[in-house]
A and B are shown apart, each in its own frame.
Chain A
């Protein structure tokens, strides 16, 4: 992937230089204003996509952020006489601050996603419009910017606006490109598929969403500032109309929201289409055509034009690139030994076994009055495999969820490696070195198997760069026998392979402590044998494991020590053979004998 960077950046720059020369050609004014509109919509659609396309938080409020920028310039330049160029950064700041303010509230509400997020952002647009309309910002009359002087960057005002819009469009596409390939982009795409899992794998989801929203709003704000001068007469009705959100959604969906260039392609196509219909009565037909295209695209091409093209191309490229790589060592434990030892992956001998790694004290968790965990104390020592068993509903999975930060505990204390992690957000727990698997596998559906494993390597304990993370991920795919599936989507895996993908994902974060939640359930006996072999291989390199399992054969074979939970309490603890024979354990599993 790294080799692709140069051509794409050079292409953006090249297109920019070529287009910057257009005003010198002295073409009829029509071309400049048409291209201005193309750039304008490229900025709005691409900036929208940075939050909404990448992270899946579809906003219908882009018109609000655009409008805030527009009225910032209208107010500062039109009413206070600030030079126009100075208002551009101010518009960016005001729009970003406004967006981040909204995001800081909205993103705290866990389930405000999808259609609810779309509606709330639409409502924000109308609230802003009403406030602007009724305050001196607009006053109901609109703001005339006819008297504001444009800086003479180019010979004519229209050329100046053209060049400004071009520069902003290039900047926006370039930012979208960089975010797409950066840690931020990887995190946002994970948020798109499964936000909870992304957080547990170490993605600081709240911060990332805010950052994406801030960038998105700032760019839309500058687009609004330039547009204010382009229309030179700013009204609430035109600014906060439904047209902006409709067009940006349409353009991005048409071009492909999962690609940095998709919205720009869609914007160019739709703007051309709308322009072709501009004259008189045809404007109505043009709008209807746009509506029709939206319907048809959603029904027949949900990934967008570029999305579909890129998916097939990437799959081919990935396969051929990997085929050219030297084959990796295949047998399970070998790759682990051959790779440089990272902290926490040191072998058993070098670590003092027995010192306390995880300390759980009096942890409680209730769901609507049901006490799932009722004051649980557990110690996990470095280097051991601790079996966590108990009947269904005894609190095993809840404990895993609390320790990994998926749930917040109601009380008690959790310390890990000498640090207090009580109530810490899940991504910090992941950074500290705790990884988990899900009982029902939760892969990121739109990321390839390889990218599913790259993500935790990038966001785990060592925050690896993309290239290094890919190498790390390939090691673990090889280790779990999934290397041949690296370029497939998780859909293509069977349950057994999905469970191993969970395992590879957890291992790629280079954890100190691995929480395995029923990795064996649902597997056939021969698959279980293979899995036990794999877990033993993990154990042999000295990982500490908490092993939740119902398959008693595996528990007895693998664990050093067992803790038995029943109804949210620890009822027994000790060596496996000893514990499983105790009467209170037998009773918990089978009930009290009727005397």
Chain B
């Protein structure tokens, strides 16, 4: 085994940061709904892929600008997320059963995607895909840069909103102890619907980023689950900055693994990290 050159390693670190940003973006909504609503939304991944396919469709068939698809996807997904939480609240679903229900939902959405868009892999050919910046010896593709920008902006904005606004404080209070918060006049049910809607909308944004940089296939829905869950748990549930930071750590260690050994070994890093985190931090989750 020979060690690759410094440029190659630097490029690997950079692509690790980019993929980590996508982990963080995917993990953001998951972490919020798990940490603050006690709802483990496996369907988050299927939603992201649904968003990615919608972006793909609107861009390649209806010739929209990829970013413009957000105008449709964000409100649509917000409504879906709110509806999902309404159903969960209506049936008083426990955290574990939310995992099962959203597992079923994932399968339904994945089948629908395959039904509409077939199982053939497809790649979006957009104007963004061809733009690359050069940073010294390193290449910085625009789609990846957009992903990083979305991930940092949304994570920081969510963090700031939860920390500095009255709405955010009310949300944190409701997450901590819903009955007590309700006794002090916090409308816990409306806030939960809002939070669930926002989480789903974040999945839509992550979907856009997926469509810009990755080949889409229905079976890919399951490929992201382990690594994103690892990022969410390492980052700490309900902490909006956690998934991004942890995602980048995982992304970099993965791409270094790929650069040094074979690409097929990469899943080992994320899943071993997830197992280690679960064993070490189970008391705190």
Q: Does A276 count as interface, using CB distance less than 8 angstroms?
A: no
Contacts of B226 in A (CB 8 A): 122-123, 126
Mask: chain B, 226-267; 1 = CB below 8 Å from A; 0 = not: 100110010000000000000000000000000000101101
List residues 560-590 of chain A with CB under 8 A from any CB of chain B: none
Q: Does B100 count as interface, using CB distance less than 8 angstroms?
A: yes
Contacts of A140 in B (CB 8 A): 264
Stretch at the interface among A282-290, A320-328, A396-404, A510-518: A282-290
Contacts of A291 in B (CB 8 A): 103-108, 111
Mask: chain B, 83-99; 1 = CB below 8 Å from A; 0 = not: 00001000101011101
A114, B114: Cα distance in complex, Å: 31
Supposing A115-B40, A298-B97 touch, asked if A130 and B271 sit within 8 A by C-beta, the answer is yes
A127, B270: Cα distance in complex, Å: 9
Instruction: Determine whether the beta carbon of A111 is less than 8 Å from that of B264.
Output: no
Chain B, Cβ-Cβ closest to A133: B264
Instruction: Determine whether the beta carbon of A249 is less than 8 Å from that of B100.
Output: yes
A393, B101: Cα distance in complex, Å: 43
Taking the closest CB of chain A, its distance from the CB of B158, in whole angstroms, is 23
Supposing A111-B282, A284-B111 touch, asked if A130 and B264 sit within 8 A by C-beta, the answer is yes
Q: Does A295 count as interface, using CB distance less than 8 angstroms?
A: yes
Instruction: Determine whether the beta carbon of B95 is less than 8 Å from that of A126.
Output: no
Instruction: Determine whether the beta carbon of B108 is less than 8 Å from that of A295.
Output: yes
A-B contact count (CB 8 A): 117
Q: Does A317 count as interface, using CB distance less than 8 angstroms?
A: no
A324, B101: Cα distance in complex, Å: 44
Supposing A119-B229, A126-B226, A246-B107 touch, asked if A299 and B101 sit within 8 A by C-beta, the answer is yes
A126, B110: Cα distance in complex, Å: 20
Other-chain contact of B271, A115, A127, A249 (Cβ < 8 Å): A127
Q: Does A118 count as interface, using CB distance less than 8 angstroms?
A: yes
Interface residues on A, range: 35 or more
Mask: chain A, 137-169; 1 = CB below 8 Å from B; 0 = not: 000100000000000000000000000000000
A45, B110: Cα distance in complex, Å: 23
Q: Does B274 count as interface, using CB distance less than 8 angstroms?
A: yes
Instruction: Determine whether the beta carbon of B279 is less than 8 Å from that of A127.
Output: no
Classify the secondary structure of B's interface with A: helix
Taking the closest CB of chain B, its distance from the CB of A449, in whole angstroms, is 24
Chain B, Cβ-Cβ closest to A295: B104
Instruction: Determine whether the beta carbon of A288 is less than 8 Å from that of B271.
Output: no
Supposing A249-B103, A295-B108 touch, asked if A115 and B95 sit within 8 A by C-beta, the answer is yes
Contacts of A287 in B (CB 8 A): 107, 110-111
Q: Does A294 count as interface, using CB distance less than 8 angstroms?
A: yes
Q: Does B225 count as interface, using CB distance less than 8 angstroms?
A: yes
Instruction: Determine whether the beta carbon of B100 is less than 8 Å from that of A288.
Output: no
Q: Does B8 count as interface, using CB distance less than 8 angstroms?
A: no
List residues 88-136 of chain B with CB under 8 A from any CB of chain A: 91, 93, 95-97, 99-101, 103-108, 110-112, 114-115
Q: Does A116 count as interface, using CB distance less than 8 angstroms?
A: yes
Q: Does B177 count as interface, using CB distance less than 8 angstroms?
A: no
List residues 266-285 of chain A with CB under 8 A from any CB of chain B: 281, 284-285
Q: Does B283 count as interface, using CB distance less than 8 angstroms?
A: yes
Q: Does B278 count as interface, using CB distance less than 8 angstroms?
A: yes
Q: Does A593 count as interface, using CB distance less than 8 angstroms?
A: no
Stretch at the interface among A102-110, A425-433, A533-541: A102-110
20 extra A-B contacts, CB within 8 A, seeds A293-B104, A298-B93: A106-B279, A109-B279, A110-B283, A112-B282, A115-B40, A115-B99, A116-B278, A120-B275, A120-B279, A123-B226, A123-B230, A123-B275, A249-B103, A284-B114, A291-B105, A292-B104, A292-B108, A294-B103, A294-B107, A295-B101
Q: What are 29 inter-chain pairs, A to B, with CB distance below 8 A?
A: A109-B279, A109-B283, A110-B283, A112-B279, A114-B96, A119-B233, A120-B274, A120-B279, A123-B226, A123-B229, A123-B230, A123-B274, A126-B226, A127-B268, A127-B271, A127-B275, A130-B264, A131-B268, A140-B264, A281-B115, A285-B111, A287-B107, A287-B110, A288-B107, A291-B105, A291-B111, A294-B104, A295-B104, A298-B104
Q: Which residues in A have some Cβ–Cβ distance to B below 8 Å?
A: 58, 105-106, 109-112, 114-116, 118-120, 122-124, 126-127, 129-131, 133-134, 140, 242, 246, 249-250, 253, 281, 284-285, 287-288, 290-295, 298-299, 302
The 9 closest A-B pairs by CB, nearest first: A291-B107, A294-B104, A288-B111, A295-B104, A291-B108, A291-B104, A123-B271, A123-B274, A112-B282
